[in-house]
Amino acid sequence: MNHYTLQNIKKTSFLLGLLIAQVALSQTNYFKQRIPENKILVVAHRGDWRNYPENSVKAIEGAMKLGVDIVEIDLQKTKDGQLIVMHDKKLDRTTTGKGEVSEASLAEIKPLFLKNGAGMPTREKVPTLEEVLNFVKGKRIMLNLDKGWDFIEQVRLLTEKTGTTEQIILKGNKKASELKKEVGQKLDHIIYMPMVWPEDYSIYKRDEVINPTEYIRDFSKMFSPVAYEVIIKDDSPKADELLTLIRDAHAMIWINALWPELCAGHDDDKAMDNPDENWGWIIRKGANIIQTDRPEELIRYLKSKNLKYED
């Protein structure tokens, strides 16, 4: 092989590399491309927590290996104003430490170890949001930041600093008009999904619960969200009506399979023995995105039906 050809090959592979990098980059926000109507995205609640500590970098990496599309993680703020990835307000359950997160500095939290599902310490540490953002940057994964809206200014700064703004999904239950007033430029390039509660739900008794139809109409008009999260406590005509309304607005539907009260009793644990009666029910209701505590089994099920979203 002469020198000239070698150069060409080098050049070609360099260009090919660039192309691959670009394709990979465009894949980090699935909602920028058309997602086929019959394909389902899988959200892993707190990451692959069965195999790694919940809300750890390893749990996000584990979920990615399973083929998960979105990982839901939780945020808390330390005494010195740092955002860390943790569900509880207290350190006790998930770490070797004790007490409120808001009363501990990041320097005090960093030496702690995360515990596994049996309550035993592992070698993993509590990650900051920034560490997690740096980890996911450019990879085929999106993050749903629970409580992200509570810390929107800081989240914005960190996602911009790390170049991950397009990989972030926020959710909330403010009315569209309220959100419009607050939001300004804050949501530019960040995906926001309104949460819809068709039934009276013990922890939320806001306007949109009383009049969810208007809530959806307003949102569709003002924001045209790519998706709505729908909490279906009971299998009721009212829930069906709202699901139709969302579909008619060409938005996607996100349903949580985590617990019975989020999916009219068709939850992950029941799906272990009867997937068609449970995950199948959620899909028949029109879900395009399913949040699960059983990502491995859900993905296997979706693949068996040729329903898993791939890009």
Binding footprint of another protein on the chain (CB under 8 A): 45-46, 49-51, 54, 58, 87-88, 93, 116-123, 258-260, 269, 293
In order of 11, 13, 14, 24, the CA distances from 21 in angstroms are 15, 12, 10, 5
Give the nearer residue to another protein in terms of CB position, either 1 or 118.
118
Cα distance between residue 252 and residue 114, in whole Å = 35
Minimum separation from the CB atom of position 58 to another protein (A): 8
For the CB of residue 100, give the shortest distance to another protein in the complex, in Å: 17
The residue among 111 and 138 lying less far from another protein, judged by its C-beta, is 111
Q: Which is nearer to another protein, 3 or 123 (CB)?
A: 123
Question: Which segments within 14-116 are labelled E, that is strand?
Answer: 41-45, 70-77, 83-85
Catalytic site residue 45? Answer: yes
Active site residue 87: yes
Which of 3, 87, 189, 250 is labelled catalytic? Answer: 87
Q: How far apart, in whole angstroms, are the C-alpha atoms of residue 223 and residue 219?
A: 5
Q: How far apart are CA 297 and CA 39, in angstroms?
A: 16
Q: How many CA atoms lie within 13 A of 106 on its CB side?
A: 13
Provide the angle, in degrees to the nearest 10, between the axes of the packed helices 129-136 and 57-66. Answer: 30
Phi-psi region of 300 (alpha: psi -120 to 50; beta: other; left: phi over 0): alpha
Residue 48 or 130 having the CB closest to another protein: 48
Q: Which two tokens stand for residue 272?
A: 């272990």
In the complex, the smallest distance separating the C-beta of residue 171 from another protein, rounded to whole angstroms, is: 18
- Supply the minimum distance, in Å, between the C-beta of residue 289 and another protein: 20
State in angstroms the smallest separation of the CB of 124 from another protein.
Answer: 9
Distance of CA 238 to the CA centre of its chain: 26
Contact by Cβ (8 Å): 132, 145? no
Residue number with CB closer to another protein (69 or 293): 293
Phi/psi-derived region of residue 195, left when phi > 0, alpha when psi is between -120 and 50, beta in every other case = beta
| CB 172 to another protein: min, Å | 22
Which one from 3, 45, 189, 266 is the annotated catalytic residue? Answer: 45
Residue 292, classed as helix, strand or coil, is strand
Nearest by Cα to 71 from 281, 292, 230, 305: 292
Name which of 58 and 308 has its Cβ closer to another protein. Answer: 58
Catalytic residue positions?
Answer: 45, 87
